[in-house]
Chains A and B, each alone.
Chain A
Amino acid sequence: MTSWQVMVRARRGELDLDVAFEGDAQPIALVGPNGSGKTSVLRAIAGVFALRDARITVGDTILEDTSSGVRVPIEERRIGYVPQGFALFPHLTVLENVEFGLSTGKNRLPPAERSRRALQMLSDLNCASLARRSVEHLSGGEKQRIALARSLVLEPGLLLLDEPLAALDATLRRTLRKFLAERLRIFRGPSITVTHDVRDVAALGAQVVALENGRVVQQGPLSLIQQRPANEFLAEFVGAD
């Protein structure tokens, strides 16, 4: 079972980020009001910006430890990142998007093997038929799957999803929530999902980590948040009064 821990102190504009939490293979749902630092936490873990004080480990690997001067660069962290809006590469086809991670750096494979794996991943996610399409004309749901395929094909040590269901309409969201929960179960690696919807937390069977103003204000199973929400936001979030 993969355990991981995150301790991050950093300044991001107005936000003074100071968080510490850890987990295992059970999904984590990162919740909190806008500006509470959710996206910043994901980016800190991914290694996007310099951190004042941090210790980030996944399994036996130390990704960042400011006390001993360790900082693995973003391209070597094996962190899967699906940002809001998915950020598919618009100049590449679906297949080329999924192949990208297999075409550079340490995961570089010969072209034939690259295609084989990317196609396999696409067919696992039921979208092999999209392989030759340009990503620009895909539906929201298709984009979500392709973005997921693009990170999962590298078998990341930790998967970060920033509001993966936010851009979708209500009906589609229900279908894709189920799909996402199922994919995360198959993936079996640890994941952190930023969400604004308590139904995502329930569907993913996730532990909740709640942020406010760059601090963790509460963490635990959804039932705990429902019984004793630590602030107004969380009370609203779980629908309690």
Chain B
Amino acid sequence: MGGSWRQSPLTGVGVLFGVTLAGLLLLPFFALAISTPASDLLEGATHPLFASALFLSLRTTLTSLSLTVVLGTPLAWWLASSSSKTARVTEALMGLPIVIPPAVVGVALLQTFGREGLLGPALGSVGIALPFTEISVVLAQIVVSAPFFIQAGASAFREVRPEMLIVAGTLGGSPPVAFLRVALPIALPGLLVGASLAWARALGEFGATLLFAGNMPGRTQTMPLAIFYALESDVRLAIVFSLVLAAVGILLLVTLRFFPALSNFMRGGNA
């Protein structure tokens, strides 16, 4: 890995193209970072909208992430270990929310859980109305973010060779022991990457949430929705909120980048 063994195809035009795109990707974040004096930061952070949106975002994304991990790990394991046609079809279908626009996901959720939706009347008859509640925020986050965890999890579990589980069995490990002590630790780095991506996606979720859960401060207004809301009244506030989300994203990126080295170090893999 690494090194420059490839003959570089980058001549003048290529370099220009590459630099242009890289600049386009990075420039907005630079502009965002320099656009706010420190005094505004403090003002934004003490704004009543800020705390409620931040805590709602943290609460809902941690809930959706927990549910995604708990429900998604067995699914990812099955996708990785089954060679059946059903598994392949399921795996392809699990990618749907990645390629379908979030706004469409929002409408689809309304058509499922809305009052007039597929399950709406049944839920309504027992007194449950999901749309425009905190639960609907979590549901929207799960639908858009779980595919990232499932896909990363399935590839992580594919790293576990079946012989390892057979050996664990012959060594006295029951199937749950073999899973917990062999398959899970081997797949753990990949699962963590998947969980991080899913969390990042849930934290940034906007379209499906707006349509399915609305934009109600204190109830369904997560950070991205608060940015949208603040933009109409006070740009500086929107910038502060954006900076916080950007900082979380950068932190996540750095962690993911250095995670392999870190985990290797922690299990003494340098010997």
Residues of B in contact (CB 8 Å), total 22
- Does B172 touch A at the CB level, under 8 Å? yes
- Does B185 touch A at the CB level, under 8 Å? yes
Is A154 within 8 A of B172, CB to CB?
A: yes
Is A74 within 8 A of B170, CB to CB?
A: yes
With beta carbons under 8 angstroms apart, the residue of A46, A74, A91, A151 that contacts B185 is: A91
- Does B256 touch A at the CB level, under 8 Å? no
- Does A221 touch B at the CB level, under 8 Å? no
Is B164 within 8 A of A104, CB to CB?
A: no
Q: Which of A16-24, A119-127, A132-140, A206-214 contacts B (4 or more CB under 8 A)?
A: A132-140
With beta carbons under 8 angstroms apart, the residue of A79, A84, A85, A136 that contacts B269 is: A136
With beta carbons under 8 angstroms apart, the residue of B166, B173, B267 that contacts A48 is: B166
Q: What sequence of 0s and 1s flags, for each residue 180-196 of chain B, a beta carbon within 8 Å of any chain A beta carbon? A: 01100110100000000
Known: A87-B164, A89-B164. A134 touches B170 (CB 8 A): no
Q: In the assembled complex, how far is the CB of residue B212 from the closest CB belonging to chain A, in whole angstroms? A: 40
Is A87 within 8 A of B271, CB to CB?
A: no
Closest residue of chain B to A87 (Cβ to Cβ) is: B163
List the A side residues contacting B170 at CB < 8 Å: 46, 74-75, 77, 79-81, 151, 156
Chain A residues 204-232 with CB under 8 Å of chain B are none
**Alpha-carbon distance A143/B160, docked complex (angstroms):** 18
- Does B161 touch A at the CB level, under 8 Å? yes
Q: In the assembled complex, how far is the CB of residue A92 from the closest CB belonging to chain B, in whole angstroms? A: 8
List the B side residues contacting A132 at CB < 8 Å: 268, 271
- What does DSSP make chain A's interface, helix, strand, loop or mixed? mixed
- Does A38 touch B at the CB level, under 8 Å? no
List the A side residues contacting B268 at CB < 8 Å: 93, 132, 134
**Alpha-carbon distance A87/B178, docked complex (angstroms):** 13
List the A side residues contacting B161 at CB < 8 Å: 85, 87
- Does A52 touch B at the CB level, under 8 Å? no
- Does B177 touch A at the CB level, under 8 Å? yes
Q: What sequence of 0s and 1s flags, for each residue 152-170 of chain B, a beta carbon within 8 Å of any chain A beta carbon? A: 0000000001011011111
**Alpha-carbon distance A209/B190, docked complex (angstroms):** 43
Known: A100-B171, A104-B177, A105-B172. A83 touches B166 (CB 8 A): yes
**Alpha-carbon distance A47/B186, docked complex (angstroms):** 24
**Alpha-carbon distance A59/B225, docked complex (angstroms):** 71
- Does B174 touch A at the CB level, under 8 Å? yes
Interface size class of A (residues with CB under 8 A): 35 or more
Chain A residues 47-81 with CB under 8 Å of chain B are 47-48, 73-77, 79-81
List the A side residues contacting B168 at CB < 8 Å: 89, 100
List the B side residues contacting A89 at CB < 8 Å: 164, 168, 182, 186
Is B269 within 8 A of A105, CB to CB?
A: no
**Alpha-carbon distance A87/B164, docked complex (angstroms):** 5
Known: A134-B267, A137-B271. A151 touches B171 (CB 8 A): yes
Is A91 within 8 A of B169, CB to CB?
A: no
- Does A43 touch B at the CB level, under 8 Å? yes
Is B166 within 8 A of A46, CB to CB?
A: yes
**Alpha-carbon distance A134/B168, docked complex (angstroms):** 18
Give the A-binding residues of B (Cβ under 8 A).
161, 163-164, 166-174, 177, 181-182, 185-186, 188, 267-269, 271
A-B contact pairs, 11 of them (CB 8 A): A75-B171, A87-B164, A91-B185, A100-B168, A100-B171, A100-B173, A100-B181, A104-B171, A104-B172, A104-B177, A150-B167
